[in-house]
Amino acid sequence: MRRWEEPKKPKARIEIIPMIDVMMFLLVFFVLLSLNVIPALGVKTALPSASTAHDLQVNLNAVVTVPLTGDVQLEGKSVSLDALPQLLKQKEKPNTKLSVIVNADKGVDFQRVLEVLDALKGNGFEAISFATKRK
């Protein structure tokens, strides 16, 4: 009598790579969902009202550079000290506050920096900062 060998059935294997792919997809899905559902700025509140409330102003920055040569530059372009306030006023937009950053070289004569500061303050620019670097 002849006996036929039955083919060996392979043992069932659990493939882990597709399972990892599915888990990563679910993780990304829930992270993105939670970012849209939970506000990033904190808990939603009902703010009280006031008759003197006003809108927050968005800040714009303008960089005024005073290099060693002593001339004045606005955003990298040379300008005269007299024309500087008018050019800065052109940069201002409604409902925004213009912050001026004075970037003066440490070798510049202090009197020249004060002239720039005086020209800015005299024309209504109050938010003036000086650029420095950390020691």
- Does the pLDDT value for residue 129 go beyond 70? yes
Structural tokens at position 135: 């020691």
> What class has domain 58-130?
alpha beta
pTM of the model: 0.54
Give the Cα separation of 20 and 26 in Å (integer). 10
For the segment 89-115, what is each residue's pLDDT rounded down to a tens digit? 888 777 777 788 887 777 778 888 888
For the segment 16-31, what is each residue's pLDDT rounded down to a tens digit? 898 899 999 999 988 8
In this prediction, residue 135 has a pLDDT band, given cuts at 50, 70 and 90, of: low
pLDDT at 54: 63
Structural tokens at position 81: 């000290």
Region class of 82: left (phi > 0), else alpha (psi between -120 and 50), else beta: alpha
Region 125-134: mean pLDDT is 75
Between 54 and 19, whose confidence is greater?
A: 19
